[in-house]
Structure 1
């Protein structure tokens, strides 16, 4: 007698079905959904937060056609943007050197020097009757554009601190 003849056929096991999923896969799916929802929400909130800045840049580009009113229009635009992102009452009260120091404190030191010339021209020309020249308007528009793009709207020091810091640097 042949012992091998007495063996039964090998029965292959049935394949593992993909459904129902193991709890680990449910955790991965939940985590991916959570991360996706959080990313979309963060993107949407950032988009809403920067909406005023984007609109201001578009408005500033439209101002470039009328250089005579560059100082007044740009000053009003920057004031509106600053009121939107910072304390409106405090920003409304600023003018002259305090306004200029506030604008400078909103950008990093790297960009502050490049925008100061144009912003100084803007703050001095706001109260003058003489219209801006083409060169002054160009300086004002470029400084305002850099300020709008580079201003840190989340972490500006309080105005009193910024003013004291600027005054202390002159002593």
Structure 2
């Protein structure tokens, strides 16, 4: 008798394949985190697109005010109009208490929300809102440029 016959060995049996489901608990955590990140990313993109649309509308309103004042060559009221457009922009961003703010509070609010390099411009702008001086076209253009920069950089 041969050795193989004496041992009475059976054929090799292949193991049953491992099923893909259910997956291990660690993978469920990974899937959950991935879904959470995708949802948060989508919400962030929606918020960003709304902010950019609001910013574009505000810049268009400022441009329309500029064109109206430029067409009539009446630049005395442009600062007040630009101030109203800027306040309306902040109201649309969710700051409800801005409408009734006095000039000093409005100035400090803008200084908190804008980078430090604009603080002197903000002080000049807020101080000039109530001066009875006539604004020239170059001053109005400078005011318009400043307000456009502020609208683009305002973090609310």
TM-score using structure 2 length: 0.67
User: Which structure 2 residues correspond to residues 22-171 of structure 1 after superposition, within 5 A?
Assistant: 22-48=24-50, 52-66=54-68, 67=70, 68-69=74-75, 70-84=78-92, 85-88=94-97, 91-95=99-103, 99-113=106-120, 119=125, 123=129, 130=134, 132-133=136-137, 135-153=138-156
Change over 3 Å in CA distance of 1:99–1:107 after alignment to 2: same
Change over 3 Å in CA distance of 1:20–1:102 after alignment to 2: closer
**Residue correspondences, number:** 147
The whole-number CA distance in structure 2 between the counterparts of 1:21 and 1:73 is: 62
Runs of 4+ in 1 over 6 A off after TM superposition: none
Write the deviation string for residues 92-118 of structure 1: whole angstroms up to 9, x where unpaired: 3424x664454344322123235555x
Q: Which has the larger radius of gyration?
A: 2
Which residue is equivalent to 1:2? 2
Change over 3 Å in CA distance of 1:9–1:102 after alignment to 2: closer
RMSD: 3.3
